[in-house]
Structure 1
Amino acid sequence: MDLILLIDILGTIAFAISGVLMAMNKRLDPFGILIIAFVAAIGGGTLRDILINAPVVWMLNLTYVYVVFGTTILAVVFRKRLTYIKRSLFLFDTIGIAFYTIVGVEKGIAAGFPPLICIALGTINACFGGVIRDILCNEIPIIFRKEIYATACIVGGSAYFILLQTPLQSDFVVVISFVSVMIVRLLAIYFNLSLPSVYSKKEIE
């Protein structure tokens, strides 16, 4: 299994778990939990493939479907181990966007797109499964709030192309870019950093 395929599978697992946690938090039935896990895991990748006019990967490779099913079952069975659901959701969501940013960038490069478009594809790949998950669960998607979310993906994607100009091996470029997404997202939460609001205090009130 090559590194990018491994990262894609790990991202699928992470986002499937985030979908399960969100669905359980909303007290959905088993079918609802599975659907939310599925769209969270493959939503961004599906949109990515449609945009680059490529076959939708999970339709060609059923491994992704099996991974989502298996992950959903295990996450539900061991849900009591995930004591702090909100914290767990944040963790797996962060891991998911880091993995999927790299996958999206790599897919863009393979399709021959320029760096800016590749970074956009990485951000779409990372964020839009979560967007669909949140909308279906009647939540305002994180990407549309002030939180540092898509920005972390953009930083990771940019780091990827910057590191490609160095003598580093491709595997190290992937790992460092992945870690950069995680660090930006975690630091933003730890220090309560957010994007500036366009609304005045009076408008918010």
Structure 2
Amino acid sequence: MTTGHPVRFPVVALVASAGGLDALAQVLGPLPADLPAAVLVAQHLDPYRTSHLTSILAGRTALPVAEAADGDVLVPGVALVVPAARHLLLTPEQRIVLVDVGALPPARPSADLLLVTLAVTCGPRALAVVLTGKGTDAQAGIRAVARCGGTVFAQDEATSAHFGMPGAAIGTGLVDAVLPLPGIAAAVLGHVAAAAVGNPAFSPPGGGYPQ
């Protein structure tokens, strides 16, 4: 079995809840079809209703967007959306594992579950982006991402429809950049570009991200 961090490209996880459709579309919209990073998208969804999130996002970005399927392998230049009523986990080989949700919490799909497994399988190649949403989902997950050497961005309060999730993330003191929604796509592109030139810290020239 493969161990360590076999993937040699960044993995970006966008997590959101209430108000997330517009936020996700604004982040994904500017990303190019040849983005040298894999993207995972998780928004809290009603598990008992058909979701059109994948098709809506696919129409708003040049980046290929598909619904994640059990056993999928992460590849750069593709955004995979966690389906309703499932949680998404990553194996050490960066394969997708989908787990059926139960009737009780955690929120579904769980940002915490996704981010914790992203952290331990991708280490410093992980970028977690916490967007608008109610509650505190992703707070534990970004702790794991930071502890394993990854990077965390959070949407600022002024541009968040609901500041629960990004506020909880920021409250940990582990967020690398607090950004207005219109600036997040550029920050993601800068992070990916830094990774492509081999910067182990994934920070842009000149040092640091704005807080």
Fold match by TM threshold 0.5: no
Output the TM-score relative to the length of structure 2. 0.29
Q: Compute the TM-score of the two structures, normalised by the length of structure 1.
A: 0.29
- State the structure with more CA Rg: 1
Pick the structure with more strand per residue. Answer: 2
